[in-house]
Structure 1
Amino acid sequence: MKNLIYFSIAFLVLLIGTLTLIFKIFQTEDKLAFDDEQIGLKDQVVIRFSHVVAENTPKGLAVQYFADLVSEKTDTKVKVEIFANGSLYENDEEALDALKRGKIQMIAPATSKLTTSFPEWQLVDLPFVFPSYEAANEAFNGDIGLYLFSLLESDHLKGLSFWSNGFKQITSNIGPIQSPKDLSGQHFRIMPSELIEKQYSLLDVNPSKIPFNLTYQSLEDHIVDGTENTLSNIYSKKFYRVQNHLTISNHGFLGYIVLMNNDYWNQLPPDIQQVVIESMAEASEMIQKKSIELNLQSFENIKKDSDIEIYELKEKEKKQWVEELQPVYELYESEFDNDLIDELHKIQEKYEEE
């Protein structure tokens, strides 16, 4: 009987101690993170940056470059801890939720992942929205970017920068894709975006919103017939190994928005905030150049490393696609601010003339 009493008391003490420890962990999760494992570094600020792509993609390289700059500029006082390839959170939706709850401090989701909370971000998903990289840069470094970034404040998010991954292409296992009718009846993996879903439904495609890191398996197992993505992602994730046809269409633009938890941002000392801003500006400039280089290099690598059949849309064929997808513009433009649409059309006309 005494042994039972002693055991019960010991168990109760252990339980109370465990609950106290868990409470302390959750109590401090939303505060600044520190790394106390490195001798000689006192109160090192740790910024946990989670993303879902490979390290050798434009986004992966930009995150690492940003982390290196922050460490160098603060003499290692600030450490950006990177969790790539969905190693911490499987998809951008989970990461965004974790960011809002203060579990992590930075993410860089595709812009389409914001469209549920902020419908006007769907502007980026419009088909053939940007005629060139220069057009995209002008849009996001000007009034369009300022407006879209301002929307984030209502959800306690700090928008730091827009990053480019480049233009999206089409891959499929059901024959070459040259005209819109060639997609009819196919099943495609898409990013979670109502506008993208409408776009493919208009082309008689069955779209499925499958997480990025499950795309390869879905293609390999023939759960879906094809997908759309940039050449750097098609190569780094090896989609070309499980697809028979690749069409260079440049029909969509894949961009990322670098976000920080706003409460966390406000806790950072002004000097660290300034370092983050400066480092982010340098990383953003780097990714603009790198995304072009990597997509071109990935295209060469795909041609060298596989037998995938490649078709490049001609200008006349692109016009056919634009006309076929015009109803998407008519459906969604009414949902956007008029000044936003006017500015977009000005940029499109400016760069289409060049």
Structure 2
Amino acid sequence: MRGLITICSFLIIGVLTAFYIGFGFGEKDEPKAVDKELEGLNEKYVLRFSHVVAENTPKGLAASMFAQLVREKTDGWVEVQVFPNASLYEAQDEFDGLMRNDIHIIAPALSEITVLDPKWLIMDLPYAFKDEKMVEAAFEGKIGELLFESIKDYGFHGIAYWDNSFKQFTNNERPIIVPEDFKGLTVRVMPSIALMETYRVIGAQPRLFSFNEVYDALSEGMIDGTENTLSNIFSKGFYKQQKYMTLSNHNYLGYAVFMNSEYWSTMPVDYQKSIMEAMDEVTVWLREHSQTMNEEMLYRIKNSGVIDIHYQTDEEKELWKQEFNSLYERFQNMIGPELMEELNRLQSGY
């Protein structure tokens, strides 16, 4: 009998020990360390990416490619939903949407950013950049670094600079050969004071329309002309509403990809790494292919036979540059000495 009691006692003690250990009361039940990089990895993130251009443009293709790569790299735990053609927001409204976290990624044209931060006017100075390599040097160098640092004050986290190409002049009235040819014409521009003053200097009247209003503004005669990249001129059908185009390469149209800084900081580090890996791959791909895409669009526009094309010569380009010298002096204080010095250094190297 005593032996039976002893056996029962051991069984009871074993059960109680297992109970205490199993429910966290044992001496060995110590809190486990949490890997901050893995925290939140069992939660799905849905990122809304808003942009205003067509899906078959350099930015449109890059956005779709980015969404696919992010999904692959995170095994579907981060989903990027792309909304093209201003289906959610027009260009300037995107900034407010990003600040409110109604959307999570935007890729505004550099000119659009100048409304928030005048330092970005440096990218809108006419004939500031000679070619794509010089633009790349600006993006990858001190200029790109300073601009992303400046935009932090508005709660935006800069992720990448995306390429499109240089802008060209189009209009319905006459060939544009010399600056005086613009006198009296109405021209759509983005809301950058540097772009508006560029046309005022040569006697034209700048008008503000959102990107997706331009086609109707041209077809209804509200404006005589516009400026844009070849890919946008073709994809939106602007060339069908214009008689003349001058290949001037007078300004570069690129994009900056932003996320809300606070939202970005809450994402798991592993997902941040995957997003940046995808972004880097897309940025390299876009840099290699945007020029090819714009050349293809020029071929299509030229073969449409609906628009007369003038190729600006080197001599003509020098004449235009001289016409715009005063703009550099006018905006240098708004841009700031550090950025202007970097631009001067870059230009001297080319």
More divergent stretch after superposition (217-226 vs 148-157):
148-157
SS in 2 for 1:321: helix
Q: Distance between the aligned counterparts of 2:263 and 2:218, measured in 1?
A: 39
Offset of 1:339 from its aligned partner?
2.6
More divergent stretch after superposition (336-345 vs 190-199):
336-345
Q: TM-score with structure 1 length normalisation?
A: 0.86
Structure 1 residue aligned with 2:318: 319
1:275-290 alignment, distance < 5 Å? 275-290=274-289
SS in 2 for 1:250: coil
SS in 2 for 1:223: coil
Offset of 1:115 from its aligned partner?
1.1
Offset of 1:154 from its aligned partner?
1.0
Q: Distance between the aligned counterparts of 1:136 and 1:206, measured in 2?
A: 28
Q: Distance between the aligned counterparts of 2:335 and 2:143, measured in 1?
A: 11
Offset of 1:350 from its aligned partner?
1.6
1:213-232 alignment, distance < 5 Å? 213-232=212-231
Amino acid at match of 1:348: Q
Say whether the 8 Å CA contact 1:172–1:245 is kept in structure 2: yes
Structure 2 residue aligned with 1:66: 66
Say whether the 8 Å CA contact 1:240–1:306 is kept in structure 2: no
Structure 1 residue aligned with 2:49: 49
1:181-192 alignment, distance < 5 Å? 181-192=180-191
- Whether 1:101 and 2:100 are equivalent positions in the alignment is yes
For 1:20-56, what per-residue CA distance to the aligned partner results, in whole angstroms no more than 9, with x for missing partners? xxxxxxxxxxxxxxxxxxxxxx743111000000011
Q: Distance between the aligned counterparts of 2:324 and 2:122, measured in 1?
A: 14
Offset of 1:307 from its aligned partner?
2.1
Q: Distance between the aligned counterparts of 1:100 and 1:336, measured in 2?
A: 24
Amino acid at match of 1:78: V
Say whether the 8 Å CA contact 1:190–1:207 is kept in structure 2: yes
- Whether 1:349 and 2:348 are equivalent positions in the alignment is yes
Q: Distance between the aligned counterparts of 1:106 and 1:79, measured in 2?
A: 12
Say whether the 8 Å CA contact 1:44–1:78 is kept in structure 2: yes
Q: Distance between the aligned counterparts of 2:124 and 2:103, measured in 1?
A: 27
For 1:251-296, what per-residue CA distance to the aligned partner results, in whole angstroms no more than 9, with x for missing partners? 0110111010111101110000011111111111111112101110
Structure 2 residue aligned with 1:239: 238
For 1:87-142, what per-residue CA distance to the aligned partner results, in whole angstroms no more than 9, with x for missing partners? 111x1111111110110000000111111221110000000111010000111111
Q: Distance between the aligned counterparts of 1:349 and 1:153, measured in 2?
A: 29
Number of positions where the alignment pairs a residue of Structure 1 with one of Structure 2: 310
SS in 2 for 1:185: coil
Structure 1 residue aligned with 2:142: 143
SS in 2 for 1:251: coil
SS in 1 for 2:349: helix
Say whether the 8 Å CA contact 1:241–1:306 is kept in structure 2: no
Q: Distance between the aligned counterparts of 1:344 and 1:200, measured in 2?
A: 22
Structure 2 residue aligned with 1:198: 197
Offset of 1:303 from its aligned partner?
0.9
Structure 1 residue aligned with 2:14: none
RMSD: 1.2
Structure 2 residue aligned with 1:335: 334
Q: Distance between the aligned counterparts of 1:218 and 1:194, measured in 2?
A: 21
Offset of 1:198 from its aligned partner?
0.8
Offset of 1:57 from its aligned partner?
0.5
Q: TM-score with structure 2 length normalisation?
A: 0.87
Say whether the 8 Å CA contact 1:47–1:104 is kept in structure 2: yes
Q: Distance between the aligned counterparts of 1:305 and 1:74, measured in 2?
A: 44
Amino acid at match of 2:292: E
Q: Distance between the aligned counterparts of 1:349 and 1:225, measured in 2?
A: 36
Amino acid at match of 2:304: D
For 1:170-207, what per-residue CA distance to the aligned partner results, in whole angstroms no more than 9, with x for missing partners? 00001100110000000000001011111111111110
The higher radius of gyration belongs to 2
Q: Distance between the aligned counterparts of 2:262 and 2:282, measured in 1?
A: 23
Offset of 1:164 from its aligned partner?
1.4
1:126-137 alignment, distance < 5 Å? 126-137=125-136
Structure 2 residue aligned with 1:159: 158
Say whether the 8 Å CA contact 2:110–2:254 is kept in structure 1: yes
Say whether the 8 Å CA contact 2:120–2:335 is kept in structure 1: no
SS in 2 for 1:246: strand
Q: Distance between the aligned counterparts of 1:175 and 1:153, measured in 2?
A: 44
Structure 2 residue aligned with 1:210: 209
More divergent stretch after superposition (243-252 vs 339-348):
339-348
Offset of 1:349 from its aligned partner?
2.3
1:5-84 alignment, distance < 5 Å? 43-84=43-84
Say whether the 8 Å CA contact 1:166–1:292 is kept in structure 2: yes
SS in 1 for 2:249: strand
Query: Unmatched 5+ residue regions in structure 1?
Result: 1-41
Q: Distance between the aligned counterparts of 1:73 and 1:302, measured in 2?
A: 38
SS in 2 for 1:300: helix
Structure 1 residue aligned with 2:268: 269
Q: Distance between the aligned counterparts of 1:328 and 1:250, measured in 2?
A: 17
SS in 1 for 2:255: strand
Offset of 1:346 from its aligned partner?
1.8
Offset of 1:156 from its aligned partner?
0.9
